[in-house]
Structure 1
């Protein structure tokens, strides 16, 4: 994996950064790296996530799911970081096992999914560190009832990924369910390389060792200089551009298999860095599709965006047939891969022509190893950005406020946040 910063330099864009600026920033990167390494060595909360390539046990994950022989589908019941990392992996990789995610409580969507599946051939993974996440437990109760209605013994088709104590652990012990531990010092949005993200991949038959190997390759590249680490290069430049007013970051992979990755990135970036009036708002786009829509804004709208372009340099290809149609003959004899690359490079050049900074991230392939590289690099980039911005990357107080309000509204306790709902001012237009 490599990160090309050429189009964020002031030689490419008047709104970019100079090499001298990056060299000055590199001193701060060295200090931040020292703090990160100390946090990793001490297994501090959050920093422990960057140790997962070596601390995650793939054998334990495979052992937990080994009782489920040849399922047709797996449903992960979780929300946010308890689902997005796993979804990023399974959506990017082909498998004979279909992976689904109940990460919302939309009743129509939940009912539609359950009605569409043969639940006797479906494995359910319930994921919640606390074991008290309202959305997750509500969906699990619905799934469990649907299995009972279908004559399926839910306990034979379910395993649990949770913390050291809580409702889910009690349930797993009571019914002798396979159980995977959520690492205690790893926030959910950083948990893709742990049991949380890898269990669904293991059920789908993916090479979880290769995912961890790819992550380990980027872990080994972390150093005291942004010029030696793709992860730190991306984190440092994102921070530097945010300081210059680029307060939005459009993540635009040129591979449909990475569309869910953009969602995962959005949670990682927003929840980790959006504090104290700071942060960089993540945007989700897909190349080449959004060249025909969002690119208009990126080129001609406010100068407040960094565009991050991601592609694989190797991929399977499809030839474009020859044609005698006027104006289309130039396409014949080429391939969809060549066209996608041309679209990628044209977008990159168009942004430079409009004085809009952009970063190129390239993987060799979208496979287990490449995904491990990409996911670890973005996590390390996020941690570095947090250190440079002096924000607490690993907490999410604004998210917790909303959780308490919702729980209070449902009668789950006396929470003052719920009172704010009653105070809503209304101006209704019918």
Structure 2
């Protein structure tokens, strides 16, 4: 595993920086370490037993390659990517969208244009950075808007479908449920599935 590119700097909350009234002390860190050590051991044991395989996904390039093959197989000009899922299945996508895309990403087409990655057999992200190479001829691509429906609000979902109108065929749905039995996500999926089947 490579070193994380994300660093947590907490120096500005320490007692030595902001004083004893509000700053975290060495004694408090020691106490937190005693309390969290058993939890960390349990999590590591769960990982070694293979019960949290999702934690290793970022370090498996074959997963990214299989996703790339699926994307290459999509023949529609995708304008919208819709994630159906709740809890962590939604929050991860929302966090990535917020962290990596410009604030007006969904509203401004210029912010969704960028270098088109090359397609085809053998194209995969860099093993060290996870970033796909840029297309050799400098081609540009329009990236889809990202919508994450993290609850079963029928008004929210209905307003989205009213908004996309006849562009349902340019919308890709990604249904996410770790257990495969999340009732809220299943309800969303049944609505979307019926709409897609009605279009056939």
* Structure 1 length-normalised TM: 0.30
Indicate whether 1:109 and 2:156 are aligned.
yes
Q: Displacement, 1:116? A: 1.3
CA 1:49/1:22 → structure 2, altered by over 3 Å: closer, same or farther?
A: farther
Question: Cα RMSD between the aligned structures?
Answer: 3.2
Match of 2:168 in 1: 119
**Is the partner of 2:18 in helix, strand or coil?**
coil
Say if 2:11 and 2:17, in contact at 8 Å, map to a contact too.
Answer: no
Partner SS, residue 9 of structure 2:
strand
Classify 1:28/1:79 alpha carbon distance in 2 versus 1 (closer, same or farther; 3 Å). Answer: same
Secondary structure of 1:75 counterpart: strand
Describe the SS at the equivalent of 1:140: helix
Matched, 1:92 2:99: yes
Cα distance in 1 between the residues matched to 2:152 and 2:36:
44
CA distance in 2, matches of 1:125, 1:59: 17
1:1-400 → structure 2 map (5 Å cutoff): 1-9=7-15, 12-13=18-19, 14-19=21-26, 21=27, 24-25=30-31, 28=34, 31-32=37-38, 35=41, 38-39=44-45, 42-43=48-49, 45-46=51-52, 48-55=53-60, 57-69=63-75, 70-94=77-101, 95=112, 96-117=143-164, 118-149=167-198, 151=199, 153=200
Change (3 A) 1:11 1:124: closer
Shift of 1:26: 8.2
Return closer, same or farther for 1:88/1:2 CA change in 2, 3 Å cut-off.
closer
Give the distance between the partners of 2:98 and 2:41, measured in 1 at CA: 34
Which secondary structure state, in structure 2, belongs to the residue aligned with residue 3 of structure 1? coil
- Give how far 1:119 is off: 0.4
| Structure 1: tracts of 5 or more residues without a match | 154-430
| Residues 258-311 of structure 1 deviation map (CA, whole Å, 9 limit, x = unaligned) | xxxxxxxxxxxxxxxxxxxxxxxxxxxxxxxxxxxxxxxxxxxxxxxxxxxxxx
2-structure distance, mates of 1:34, 1:132: 28
**Which string of whole-angstrom CA distances, capped at 9 and with x for unpartnered residues, describes residues 71-112 of structure 1?**
111111111122221222234334321111222111111111
Contact 2:82–2:149 (Cα < 8 Å) also in 1: yes
Q: Paired residue for 1:325?
A: none
Aligned with 2:174: secondary structure? strand
Question: Whole-Å Cα distance in 2 between the matches of residues 134 and 31 of structure 1?
Answer: 34
How far apart in 2 are the matches of 1:123 and 1:140? 12
C-alpha distance after superposition, 1:31-78 (max 9, x if no partner) = 5597268426623534x5543332462112222332213311111111
SS across alignment from 1:128: coil
